[in-house]
Amino acid sequence: GEDVEQSLFLSVREGDSSVINCTYTDSSSTYLYWYKQEPGAGLQLLTYIFSNMDMKQDQRLTVLLNKKDKHLSLRIADTQTGDSAIYFCAESQKGFQKLVFGTGTRLLVSP
């Protein structure tokens, strides 16, 4: 079955690193994604990783994928107050492009 889980809430101080975790159950997933949602807004694609990779870095963002444990994480370096939002991980499956989303993690960055 398909099930993607995330912790609900994370609070950090400005300048610290944030790590948001996600577990998924479908081993056939080909791509895994991180989306950001700010209040009242749609989903903004942050980054994605192909399932045959174990790490991807994009400026302040680092994605780690442990395919054996079906664990995905997003690390945000030097977290800023503007990073406060809800972060969703999502998985897609080969030949079937729908995304299955996690429950979302609300990140709160305090000054």
Which positions touch another protein (CB under 8 A)?
A: 30-31, 35, 41-45, 48, 50, 88, 90, 92, 96-104
Cβ–Cβ < 8 Å for 9, 76: no
- The minimum distance between CB 52 and another protein, in angstroms, equals 13
Q: Is 100 left (phi over 0), alpha (psi -120 to 50) or beta?
A: beta
- The minimum distance between CB 32 and another protein, in angstroms, equals 10
- The minimum distance between CB 79 and another protein, in angstroms, equals 23
Cβ–Cβ < 8 Å for 16, 79: yes
Nearest CB to another protein, comparing residues 76 and 90: 90
